[in-house]
Structure 1
Amino acid sequence: MPKLIVGAALLDDLVKPRELLVARRNAPASLAGLWEFPGGKVEAGESAEQALHRELSEELGVGIQLGEELLNPAAEAWPLAGSAVMRVWFATLTQGVPTALQDHDELRWMALDEGEQILRLPWIPADFPIVAELLKAVQPQLAE
């Protein structure tokens, strides 16, 4: 069974999103300087959703509301390195101000209507197809 990782596509608003919060890794050395969706491992006895709430509280000091899951059109989850897979949810803040507390040295709100700039960031390679799918998914809301 693959190791399950969860991530949040943190948006400023779930209904009419305009911005996405991205996080730059500072560890481990192999991923330092690369951008990702905040999140982490699902621990024994946790649901994926519970893990995501816990991880964002630990990593960013925030409470969140989960929206829809950002599904991989080709599989049940997004493949990562080795046998790990990731599930990603759209989410918005309900409590706190995002702060780089663990694993990150920078957080940045990026305008979704400037998708080319988001795609130019040096993403963790496994996260790049998720970013591309996210930008496709939010396009209808940006047009409104």
Structure 2
Amino acid sequence: LAIDVTEACLAPFTFASHTYEKFHLLMPLYVCRRWSGSPRPIEGQTLKWVRVKRLGDFAMPPADIPLIAMLRDLL
């Protein structure tokens, strides 16, 4: 995302756990409310700011889908 984050600005939130065909993913999710720089895609991704109620409207990996409800509750 091309941003700078300090450890003090991160708070553990939850994790994603999902079994794919060839591996099991265990991915921690942190909340970051302060950073420096402007978020921008640097590896060919598309970046879009959306309201939390629209998160389910976008294609995403299966491991990310359960995180939508948790993010809605947080935000």
**Match for residue 58 of structure 2?**
121
Say whether residues 1:78 and 2:16 are aligned partners. Answer: yes
Rounded to whole Å, the distance in 2 between the matches of 1:123 and 1:132 is 14
- What TM-score do you get using the length of structure 2 for normalisation? 0.74
How do 1:1-144 and structure 2 match up within 5 A? 60-64=1-5, 65-66=9-10, 68-71=11-14, 77-80=15-18, 81=20, 82-102=23-43, 104-112=44-52, 115=53, 117-138=54-75
- What TM-score do you get using the length of structure 1 for normalisation? 0.43
Size of the alignment, in residue pairs?
69
Q: How much is the aligned-residue C-alpha RMSD, in angstroms? A: 1.7
The percent identity for this pair of structures is 19
Contact 1:78/1:130 (<8 A) preserved:
yes
Q: CA offset at residue 125 of structure 1?
A: 1.1
Tell me the SS of whatever aligns to 1:63: coil
Tell me the SS of whatever aligns to 1:105: coil
Deviations 1:55-101, CA, capped at 9 Å, x for gaps: xxxxx1101231x3222xxxxx4213322201101113421111111
Q: What one-letter code is carried by the residue in structure 1 that aligns with 2:62?
A: P
Q: What one-letter code is carried by the residue in structure 1 that aligns with 2:68?
A: V
Name segments (4+ residues, structure 1) moved above 6 Å. none
Contact 1:70/1:90 (<8 A) preserved:
yes
- Provide structure 1 residue ranges, at least 5 long, that are not aligned to the other structure: 1-59, 72-76, 139-144
Tell me the SS of whatever aligns to 2:40: coil
Rounded to whole Å, the distance in 2 between the matches of 1:137 and 1:100 is 24
More strand by share: 1
Rounded to whole Å, the distance in 2 between the matches of 1:130 and 1:62 is 22
